[in-house]
Amino acid sequence: GQNIDQPTEMTATEGAIVQINCTYQTSGFNGLFWYQQHAGEAPTFLSYNVLDGLEEKGRFSSFLSRSKGYSYLLLKELQMKDSASYLCAVLDSNYQLIWGAGTKLIIKP
């Protein structure tokens, strides 16, 4: 079967750095997405990786290792507004998105 694993919840301090991991087992791979979802709101796109390595976008970076079936989202200089759930999703061989359950990130002052 297809499986995406992420930690259920993480806590970090304002101004710090946090890494949210995602491991996947899917039938085929056509890329990995990270989305941010604030409570009660819609998911919004953060990043897309299809090649191995690190993609940096301001305070957010995303890393992919296809051989390990592993990705992480790195958030730097955490702000209170970063409190949200972070969803990992893999595009499988049929170009359908398989979603993880999400990681709820709690930022403390």
Residue from 18, 22, 84, 91 touching other proteins (CB under 8 A): that is 91
Q: Which is nearer to other proteins, 72 or 102 (CB)?
A: 102
User: In DSSP terms, which residues pair with 54 in a beta bridge?
Assistant: 63
Dihedral sign, CA of 2, 22, 31, 37? positive
Which two three-digit tokens encode residue 81?
């507004």
Q: What is the DSSP string of 1-57?
A: --EEE--SEEEEETTS-EEEEEEEE-SS-S-EEEEEE-TTS--EEEEEE-SSEEEEE
Binds other proteins by CB under 8 A, chosen from 78, 87, 105, 107: 87
Site for other proteins in 7-46 (CB under 8 A): 8, 30-31, 33, 41-45
CA distance 92 to 13: 35
> What's the min distance (Å) between Cβ of 101 and other proteins?
5
**By CB under 8 A, which span of 19-27, 53-61, 73-81, 84-92 interacts with other proteins?**
84-92
| Contact residues: other proteins, CB under 8 A | 4, 8, 30-31, 33, 41-45, 48, 50, 87, 89, 91, 95-102
